[in-house]
Amino acid sequence: MTYQLPSLPYAYDALEPHVDTRTMELHHGRRHAGYVERLNHVLQQCTDLEGLSLEEIISDIRVVPEELRQELRFNGGGHLNHSLFWHILGPGKGPKRPEGQLLRAFESTFGQIEAFRQEFARAALSRMGSGWAWLSLDNHAHLEILTTPNEDSPIMLGYRPILGLDLWEHAYYLKYPDRREEYIQAWWNVVHWDKVAELYVHFLEMVSRT
Ligand code: MN
């Protein structure tokens, strides 16, 4: 299977002023495009994996020949992570916080939404170097905050991510050079909670069927 760079569901400048246009151009048009290109290159060398989805491959990386494993883990994770990242962001037209079923899950897991934001930001700030902060569902459909290094996906750990924050410097350094905390605070303004809630309900249904 050949993967393609998903088109951004909004313009490069749509997340201004919180995420700047140039960062978006480079992040989507160069960085993510690069992951897709290298992922396809690696997959061309593992014809045995045809028929498996990228999620299936990533969740059991041992199916990949050892000499290609690291490259597939990095570029495959990068493709999945960024595809989710673009999807759950938007120009701030939706609600400023989760609603409905997701809100109730938030309240029973974290208490007030502000407590969740603080816990998530703490996790994001404690991740040294490059990586991601996530809100994911575990096997029992419980919400959990976790972080991963590099381009590792929560899918590798058996989680289903519904919200992800890119903590690589390439995601913020043009506008917030060494100020990850400021980037995290600004980022909440462009989270598209309706999309996060859709993913939540989707995975909830999946888990309840298994
Ligand atoms: Mn990135």
CA of 210 to the centre of ligand 1 (A): 32
What average pLDDT does range 22-38 have in this prediction? 98
pLDDT band at 47, cuts 50/70/90? confident
- pTM for this entry: 0.96
Taking only the tens place, the pLDDT of each residue in 145-194 is: 999 999 999 999 999 999 999 999 999 999 999 999 999 999 999 999 99
- Answer left, alpha or beta for residue 92, where phi above 0 means left and psi between -120 and 50 means alpha: left
For the chain, domains (ranges, CATH) are: 21-87 (1.10.287.990), 100-209 (3.55.40.20)
CA of 169 to the centre of ligand 1 (A): 8
In angstroms, the CA 205 to CA 210 distance is 9
CA of 80 to the centre of ligand 1 (A): 11
Residue 182 is predicted with a pLDDT of: 97
Q: What is the spatial order of strands in the sheet that 131-137 belongs to? A: 143-149, 131-137, 160-166
Collapsed DSSP state (helix, strand, coil) of residue 43: helix
CA of 29 to the centre of ligand 1 (A): 11
CA of 31 to the centre of ligand 1 (A): 7
Residue 210 is predicted with a pLDDT of: 72
What average pLDDT does range 23-47 have in this prediction? 97
Tokens of 23: 């960062």
CA of 68 to the centre of ligand 1 (A): 21
Residue 97 is predicted with a pLDDT of: 85
In angstroms, the CA 129 to CA 148 distance is 10
Taking only the tens place, the pLDDT of each residue in 108-128 is: 999 999 999 999 999 999 999
CA of 117 to the centre of ligand 1 (A): 21
In angstroms, the CA 93 to CA 171 distance is 22
pLDDT band at 206, cuts 50/70/90? confident
Please check the confidence at residue 196 and state whether its pLDDT lies above 90: yes
CA of 200 to the centre of ligand 1 (A): 22
Taking only the tens place, the pLDDT of each residue in 57-92 is: 999 999 999 999 999 999 999 999 999 999 999 997
How many other CB atoms sit within 10 Å of the CB of residue 104? 11
Residue 1 is predicted with a pLDDT of: 80
- Look at 206 and 7; give whichever has higher pLDDT: 7
CA of 49 to the centre of ligand 1 (A): 26
Residue 96 is predicted with a pLDDT of: 81
Residue 43 is predicted with a pLDDT of: 95
CA of 74 to the centre of ligand 1 (A): 12
